Amino acid sequence: MNISRRRFVLSSAAAFLARRLKAQDEATFSAGVNVVNVFATVRDRQGKIVRNLTKDDFSLDEDGMPQTIRYFSQETNLPLTLGLLVDTSGSQRRLVGQERSASYRFLDQVLREDKDRAFVIHFDHDVELLQDLTSSHRKLDAALGELEAPGQPGQRPQGGIGGYPGGRGRPWGGGGGTALYDSILLASDELMRKQSGRKALILLTDGVDVGSHVGLTRAIESAQRADTLVYSILFADPEGYPGFGGSRRGGRRRGNFPPGGSFPGVDGRKVLQRISSQTGGGFFEVSTSKPIENIYGQLQDELRNQYSLGYTPDHPQGSPGYHRIHVATKQTDLALQARDGYYSDR
């Protein structure tokens, strides 16, 4: 589950994606148990997490039909499976140090070695598993220590794959620069899908994808099928895009750079908001007033204060596909965050 696992993810990634792209809705969300679990976070008007609700405070429907909530608990202690996906593409090279140091503290605080497990993936023109699922803080810290953007000092120069000087030359490349969508698919299908209980991916990126084998819709679907929440943290460096507003001179940075600090034609903010909204996770944006350390603090609080709602679907046998879920609180002044559906094979 260490080096051999990393080699499997990398060396067979292209073949794996080819199989997945040809498949027709094969494996699905675990409908075999005939119970659907939904994790929800509730906040008040001030954005504070609400912790004192009961089952009777919620309503739930599937495909427009009311469902009976049969299982309910407030999950502050349930084991957590966590995946950290870090963008180390060229546009992020000036931010990698901050990403690394904040992630050290976050994993150290949120991960309980006797209950929780996590893995670390980084992606640029390639996707690489730096550490497979483990509860060891030491191993996770070592993996975070390997985070580096293409061309940074200390990197092994092997041909400059993807147009970046000093690229690692790993065996699977997206042919461009940022395999964001591929990283979500691989993390969901190869790691999260085999786990049970609470599962979440933390996506640290500017939201730009260049060169993935799959598109945004397929990436989101893979997380939904793995029953995995995706929390997106938009961390962008406007000066990371030379020629597209990255210069301090001539006013180009302010005039040419689109919302979210994204590559022209792509709004990274909207991409990440869509990923998180459709999987039931949250969206955060790093800014001067809200540094990454503060966001990680919010995220830790949210992961430890979720409601778990379970129900047995009333739809008839033989109705496979995507089923929409709508969860709400009966108190109209509260905001609820939960996934909007799941895939069934029956």
Residue 54 lies in a domain: yes
Q: Which residue has better confidence, 53 or 33?
A: 53
Decide: 200 and 84 in contact? Cβ < 8 Å: no
Please indicate, yes or no, whether the overall pTM of this predicted structure exceeds 0.85: no
Pairing assessment for the beta strands 198-205 and 229-234 based on DSSP bridges:
parallel
Residues 110 and 234 in one domain: yes
Sign of the CA dihedral with 287 first, then 234, 172, and 29 last: positive
Residue 160 has pLDDT above 80, yes or no: no
In the chain, % helix, strand, coil (3-state, to 5) comes to: 30, 25, 45
Q: What is the pLDDT of residues 310-340, one digit of tens each?
A: 999 876 655 788 999 999 999 999 999 999 9
Domain total in the chain: 2
- Residues 6+ away with beta carbon under 8 Å from 287: none
User: Is 146 found in the same domain as 177?
Assistant: yes
Question: Region 152-159: what's the mean pLDDT?
Answer: 42
In a shared domain, residues 319 and 193: no
Domain encompassing residue 238? 77-303
Domain shared by 69 and 133, yes or no: no
CATH number at residue 289: 3.40.50.410
- Whether residues 324 and 198 share a domain: the answer is no
Judge whether 202 lies within some domain. Answer: yes
How far apart are alpha carbons 282 and 41 in whole angstroms? 9
